[in-house]
Structure 1
Amino acid sequence: MAVTIKDVAKLAGVSPSTVSRVLSGHPRISQKTASKVRDIMQELGYHPNIMAKSLVSKTTKSIGVILPKPAEELFLNTFFMELIRGIVTQANRSGYDIVISSGANEQEEVEAVQRLVYGGRVDGAILLYSRQNDPVVEFLYQENFPFVLVGRTEQFPDLLSVDTDNIQAAYDATRHLISFGHKRIGFVSGPKNLMVSKDRLQGYHLAMKEAGLAVKADWIVEDDFLQESGYRAMSFFMNLPERPTALVVIDDVVSFGVLRGLNELGFKVPSDLCIVSFNNNPLSELYSPPLSSVDIGIYHLGYVASQALIQAIQDEDKSLFNKRHIIPHRLMVRESSMHHLS
C-alpha cells in the first residue's frame, strides 16, 4: 500500500498541511521541522505525486532560466556556469526544478519564453542578462508574470532584480590604475546594447573625469564577451601612436585573450601594460601573470536571484516584485596591475 502524506505527518508529529509546506519549500517552515519531515519521508519511502500536486495547486515547482544566446556560445564564458550553479543550488533547496530556455536571436528568445508562460510550464523566470529595450522583459512585464532580472533595465526600473553596482565597480578598478600613476587608460567593453557594458563604461568615465584625465575614442573598443575579442583588441591598441599604459577589461575571459595577444606581440604585463578585469574567474589567479579582477560574487548573484523569485512566487506579495538586490563587490589585486609608472 502506498505511503500517504498523512502517514508522514503522523510519524513526524505535524499536520498534513505542514508536510505540504515542506514539500513546497515554504520559507516560514523552520529548518529543524523541514529536516525532520524529510527524514521521515526517506524512512517511509514517500514520493509526492508532482503531477497531481501541480493540477491541484496550479503550480509547476519549476523555474525558467532564460539564456541570452545559444548555449554552445554561452558556455564559453564560465560566468554563466557559475551563475547557474548558484540558481540551481537555491532552487533545489526550495524544491524547484530548472527549465533552461534560449534562442539564436531575440525573436527566438521571445517565442521560447512565450511557450514557457502560455504553456504553464514554469512558475517564474530568471533572465541571466539585461539588454536595453529588451522584448523578453517587455513581454514578461506586460503579462505580469513573476520574473527576476540579473542586472538592471531602464525600461522598467521597478523590476525585481539582482545586480552588482557595475558603475562603482568599474570606477574602483579605474581608480586603482590611476593610483599607480597611469594617465592613459583604455577600456575593452562588451556589446553596447548590454546594460553591464554601459554601466562599467560609465564608471570608467567617471573615474577618469574625476582625476582630470582625458579619454580618447581610440582607447575604447566594444566587442563580445569572448577571448577572441580581447585578442583582436590588442593588435589595435598596441599599434596606436599614443597607446594606453593600462586597460580596464570588462570580463576575465576577454582578458585571457588580451594576455594571449600581448604575448604574441612581444609585450609584457604589467611592465608594458597593466590590466584590471572583472568576475574573478577561478583561472585568473593561475594565469601568468595572475590577473587583478573585480569579484562580483557570481554564485551569490545566482543564489539570491533564485531565492528572491521563489519568495515572490510563494508569498504572492506583489511588493516583492519591486525590489533591487545589490551584491557587494571587491577588487582582487594581483600582479597584472602592480606596476608603478615613474
Structure 2
Amino acid sequence: MSVTIIDVAKEAGVSTATVSKVLNNKPYISDSTTRRVMEVIKRLNYHPNAQGSNFKKKRTGNIIFLAVTQLHTAFHNPHMFEILCGAQNVIRNENYNVPFMGVSDISDAYESVKKIVSCNTADGILVHGSATSRLLIDFLDKNNFPHILIGRPPFATSSCWIDTNNRVSGQMAMEYLQTCGYFKIAFIGGPKSDEISRHRLQGFVSYMNINGLAIQEEFIKYGTYTKESGFSMMEELLSHPILPDAVICENNQIAMGAVHAIEKHHLSIPKDMGIITFDDYPLSQLIDPPLTVVDINVHEMGKQAASILLQKIKNPALQVPSFVTLPNLIIRSSTRSIKQEPLHHK
C-alpha cells in the first residue's frame, strides 16, 4: 500500500496541512519542523500526488511543444529538437512536463490546439514555426492562452515570437569571406519561397551593394535543401567561364553536395574555393574539410522561449516584446585563414 500524506504527518507528529506547506515551500514553518518532515518523507519514500495537487492549483502540469513532423524531420531539421531540449531544461525545473506533439500539417496543428484549449490539457504551448498559421495564432490570442512562437511568423501579429536575424547571418558570411580575401562570391540556397533562405540572401546582397561589390546573377542559385541539389547547383557554377572563388551554402546538406562537386573537378578547398555555411550541425564538422559556419545557439533560444512562456503562464495578461538573437562565427578549415582578429557583431 502506498504511503499517504496522512502517514507522513503521523510519523512526523504534525498536521497534514503542515506537511503540505513544507512540500510547497510555504513560509512560517520552522526550520526544525521542515527538516523533520523532509526526513520522514525521504525515509517513507513518499511521493505527492501531482495530479491532485495540480487540480487544486487549477493547472495541468503540461507545457506542449507543437511542431509539424514528417519523415526524416530529425535529420532535415535538427534545430527543432535542440530548441526542445533547451526549453525542457528550463521547464522541468518548474515541475512541468513537456509533451512533444507532432502534427502532419498546419491544419492539423490548428485542430490540435483547439482541443488542447477546450479540454484544458496544457497550461501553455511553444509553437514551432513549422506549425504556425494565422488561424492558429488568432485562436490562441482570442482565448488569451499562454504561448510563444519559435520563429518569426510571415504575418503581423501581437503574439510574442523569438527568432534569429537571418539577414545579419548573410551579411556576416559575406563580410568574413571578403576578410579572407575572397571577392567572387556565389550563393546557393533553398527555394525562392523559403523565408530563411531569402533573408540570408538579402543579407548577402545588402553587404555586396553597400561595399560596391559586383553581384553576378549567375552566381546565385536556388534549389532544395538536399545534398543532391547542392551538387547540382555547384555543377552549374563550375560550368561558367568565370568561376567563383567562394560559395555561401544555405545549409549543411547543400554544402555537402557542393563539396563533392568541387572535389570532382579537382579543386582545392579552401585554396581554390572557400566554403561557408549556416548552423553548426554535427554534419558541418564531419565534412572534409570541416566547414566554417555562421551559427545560432538554438539551445539558448529554446531556454529563452521557455522562460518567457513561464512568465506568461503566471500572468497571461503580460505583454512581452518579441526579439531576435544574433549569430556568431565558427571558423574552421573550409575558408582561408586571416591574420586579423575575428569579426565581432553587436
TM-score w.r.t. length of structure 1? 0.80
CA distance in 1, matches of 2:77, 2:324: 22
Q: Residues 131 and 153 of structure 1 are in contact (CA less than 8 Å); yes or no, is this contact kept in structure 2? A: no
What is the one-letter code of the residue matched to 1:259? V
CA distance in 2, matches of 1:37, 1:113: 41
CA distance in 2, matches of 1:296, 1:328: 7
Is 1:312 the counterpart of 2:312 in the alignment?
A: yes
CA distance in 1, matches of 2:40, 2:215: 65
Q: How many residues align?
A: 326
CA distance in 2, matches of 1:5, 1:305: 39
Bigger radius of gyration: 2
Distance apart, 1:332 and its partner CA? 1.0
Q: What pairs with 1:232-271 in structure 2 (closer than 5 Å)?
A: 232-271=232-271
Counterpart of 1:20 (choices 24, 27, 30) is 24
User: The residue matched to 1:81 in structure 2 has which SS?
Assistant: helix
Identity of aligned residues (%): 25
Distance apart, 1:296 and its partner CA? 0.8
User: The residue matched to 1:98 in structure 2 has which SS?
Assistant: coil
Q: Residues 144 and 316 of structure 2 are in contact (CA less than 8 Å); yes or no, is this contact kept in structure 1? A: no
Aligned to 1:4: 5
Is 1:179 the counterpart of 2:179 in the alignment?
A: yes
Is 1:324 the counterpart of 2:322 in the alignment?
A: yes
What is the one-letter code of the residue matched to 2:106? E
Aligned to 2:32: none
Distance apart, 1:42 and its partner CA? 4.7
TM-score w.r.t. length of structure 2? 0.79
**Stretches of structure 1 lacking an aligned partner (at least 5 in a row):** 23-35
Is 1:170 the counterpart of 2:152 in the alignment?
A: no
User: The residue matched to 1:337 in structure 2 has which SS?
Assistant: coil
Q: Residues 130 and 196 of structure 1 are in contact (CA less than 8 Å); yes or no, is this contact kept in structure 2? A: no
**Stretches of structure 2 lacking an aligned partner (at least 5 in a row):** 27-35, 339-346
Q: Residues 274 and 339 of structure 1 are in contact (CA less than 8 Å); yes or no, is this contact kept in structure 2? A: no
Q: What pairs with 1:1-342 in structure 2 (closer than 5 Å)?
A: 2-4=3-5, 7=8, 16-17=20-21, 19-20=23-24, 42-70=42-70, 72-129=72-129, 134-156=134-156, 158-313=158-313, 315-320=314-319, 322-338=320-336
User: The residue matched to 1:182 in structure 2 has which SS?
Assistant: coil
Q: What RMSD over aligned residues (CA atoms) do the two structures have, in Å?
A: 3.5
CA distance in 2, matches of 1:214, 1:108: 46
CA distance in 2, matches of 1:68, 1:39: 46
Deviation digits for residues 205-263 of structure 1, max 9, x if unmatched? 21111111233443333444443442332233322344432222222343223323433
Aligned to 2:343: none
CA distance in 2, matches of 1:205, 1:149: 28
User: The residue matched to 1:67 in structure 2 has which SS?
Assistant: strand
CA distance in 1, matches of 2:143, 2:58: 17
